[in-house]
Amino acid sequence: MPSFDTTLEADMVEVKNAVEQTLKEIGTRFDFKGTSATLELKDKDITLIGDSDFQLQQIDDILRNKLTKRKVDVRFLDAGKVEKIGGDKVKQVLKVRNGISTEDGKKIQQAIKASKMKVQAAIQDGKVRVTGAKRDDLQAAMALIRKEMSELPLGYDNFRD
């Protein structure tokens, strides 16, 4: 039975490279000299640290630019709240999305059911597997998911015929 998996996974190697390039640029830029501007990557969290909200925004812009150049979709980033960490320093945590949440998986399932296509969708630990009788139906389901869930950087893999 033909099937494919709908996934939501960022290339963490490219994310790490973008973080390192951003750190290098922060170290060489004149407007960051003598400030506490930095960022670090732990697991799937990127922590931005700066002296002001404006500086955090600049670091965020540099990071998003580097991610885009490395062909990583910036929609993978979920920005947290800006927090004060003592003195005049502030930090912000950006989470790198990995895996489709259950509510997004349910939205995908609902969209497929509402379309009356002859395919089924099943949520499986961070992925949504879509199965159907014909390859054309699966390709139409991919197009539908891409259209309905345009706010998510979804990928499709494990296509079996």
Confidence bin at 158 (pLDDT 50/70/90): confident
Residue 159 has pLDDT above 90, yes or no: no
Radius of gyration of the chain (CA): 20
Q: Where are the domains of the chain?
A: 3-8+99-160, 12-96
Fold match flag (3-8+99-160 vs 12-96): yes
Q: Which of 97, 59, 93, 58 is nearest to 75 (CA)?
A: 97
Give the per-residue pLDDT at 15: 94
User: Whole-angstrom Cα distance, residue 94 to residue 60?
Assistant: 9
Q: What is the percent of the chain where pLDDT is above 90?
A: 62
Q: Which of 94, 31, 100 is nearest to 66 (CA)?
A: 94
Give the per-residue pLDDT at 59: 94
Q: How many CA atoms lie within 13 A of 3 on its CB side?
A: 11
User: Whole-angstrom Cα distance, residue 36 to residue 55?
Assistant: 10
φ and ψ of 51, to 5 deg: -85, -20
pLDDT digits (tens, 9 = 90+) for 44-88: 999 999 998 999 999 999 999 999 999 999 999 999 999 998 888
Q: Which CATH class is domain 12-96?
A: alpha beta
Give the per-residue pLDDT at 48: 94
Question: Would you identify the CATH topology of the domain 3-8+99-160?
Answer: Alpha-Beta Plaits (3.30.70)
User: Whole-angstrom Cα distance, residue 122 to residue 108?
Assistant: 10
